[in-house]
Amino acid sequence: DTGVSQDPRHKITKRGQNVTFRCDPISEHNRLYWYRQTLGQGPEFLTYFQNEAQLEKSRLLSDRFSAERPKGSFSTLEIQRTEQGDSAMYLCASSPSGTGTEAFFGQGTRLTVV
């Protein structure tokens, strides 16, 4: 078990560019979550997958954001036409099935839009 892996750890991009982040969950976990965290705040829920199905999206997730989880394994989060307000830490987490199961977090991808 290598834990949740996120790539890249850091990304600097110019405003208007597209970026894509990858998350590899713990292999036996069928639930996968994306969160966004800004400085001094707790993680904010963005979206949730059960296997390959995207079951919930936050209103925070504008049309410029899209997430996929093909084949129910790794997931990608793409941000199109980035804005300075998108600068944040993007956290991925996974959890197994069952009740009261905790989420296991990756180390995050820090995005800076200049």
Partner 1 sequence: AQSVTQLGSHVSVSEGALVLLRCNYSSSVPPYLFWYVQYPNQGLQLLLKYTSAATLVKGINGFEAEFKKSETSFHLTKPSAHMSDAAEYFCAVSLNTGGFKTIFGAGTRLFVKA
Any contact of residue 61 with partner 1 (CB under 8 A)? Answer: no
Tell me 13's DSSP state. Answer: E
Site for partner 1 in 12-51 (CB under 8 A): 31, 33, 35, 40-45, 48
- For partner 1, the binding residues in 67-86 under the rule CB under 8 A are none
Minimum Å gap between C-beta 55 and partner 1 is 6
Take residue 58 and report the two structure tokens written for it.
């936050």
Instruction: Report, in Å, the least distance between residue 81 CB and partner 1.
Output: 26
The single-letter DSSP state of residue 41 is: S
* Cβ–Cβ < 8 Å for 36, 46: yes
Q: Which residues contact 86 (CB under 8 A, 6 or more apart)?
A: 79, 111, 113
Tokens standing for 91?
Answer: 């956290």
For residue 72, the SS3 value is helix
Asked if 91 touches partner 1 (CB under 8 A), the answer is: yes
Q: Does residue 11 interact with partner 1 by CB under 8 A?
A: no
For binding to partner 1 (CB under 8 A), which residues are involved?
A: 4, 31, 33, 35, 40-45, 48, 55-56, 91, 93, 95, 99-108, 110
